Amino acid sequence: MGAIHSRAILERVTKSRSVEKRRRLFKSSEWDLEEPAAFARIARSPVELALITGVVIRLFRAVVLTHGNATSGYLFASFVLGTLFLLGMATLHLGRFPVREWPWRAPLFAVFETAGEMLVSLVLISLHREPWGTARAEFMDWQPMAMGVLFWRLIAICVWALLLGTTVQFVRGRVLKDTGRDVEPQSLPDGQPFIERRKRDEL
């Protein structure tokens, strides 16, 4: 009887130590990344990061449509590359905030990304370098172009945020809990880990 009781106590202690070991192994704060303060500030701002994204994408579009061979493979590869860049920058911003804020941050990012694109578009139109189908865009074409860009950016970024948020919630709710990992880390003296950093006075 005493041997059975001792074995049960030993199993509980061993199991407890195993769980604690897993928690220490997957402690979120140990995965925190060091990054320049200027980069972190820009990445947290939906205005600055989105404007930069819009400028780069519009210039990339202009180069793709005015240089190189306009084959279907070339255009498709350029489209995929541009989409990956857009969604990657959106993820870079959204990943720094809790998922509950994504429903308004995703469309806000899309709006300012469109603003960045269309500002560059105005410059390109004035220089007669803005592609519009098989011709060059004029100032009268700017408004319908802006509406089309805003529509597709909203669709792409919001759908991506929905898929990404669903995946994050699933991983947190199922996989990480099963491994004993801290899903919602406690507040730390130097702030939350990379994925959970946020400041109340910022957008």
Give strand pairing partners of 131: 136
* Structure token digits, residue 2: 């005493």
CA torsion, points 166, 167, 169, 174, in degrees to nearest 10? 130
Name the packing angle between helices 72-94 and 142-170 (round to 10°): 60
For 118, the token pair is 């269309």
Paired with 132 in beta bridges are: 135
Question: What type of residue sits at position 174?
Answer: R
Q: How far apart are CA 152 and CA 114, in angstroms?
A: 10
pLDDT by residue for the chain (203 residues), tens digit each?
A: 555 555 555 455 454 544 444 444 444 443 455 677 888 888 888 899 999 999 999 999 999 888 767 788 888 999 999 999 999 999 999 999 999 999 999 999 999 999 999 999 999 999 988 988 778 889 999 999 999 999 999 999 999 999 999 998 888 777 666 665 554 444 444 444 444 444 444 45
* 156 in Cβ contact with 83 (< 8 Å): yes
Residues 6+ apart with CB under 8 A from 131: 61, 62, 65, 66, 137
Record the pTM. 0.70
What is the rounded distance in angstroms from the CA atom of residue 153 to the CA atom of residue 117? Answer: 11
Structure tokens at 125: 């139109």
Which tokens hold the place of 85?
């860049």
pLDDT of res. 7: 56
Measuring CA to CA, how many Å separate 70 from each of 58, 65, 131, 133, 137?
A: 17, 7, 13, 12, 18
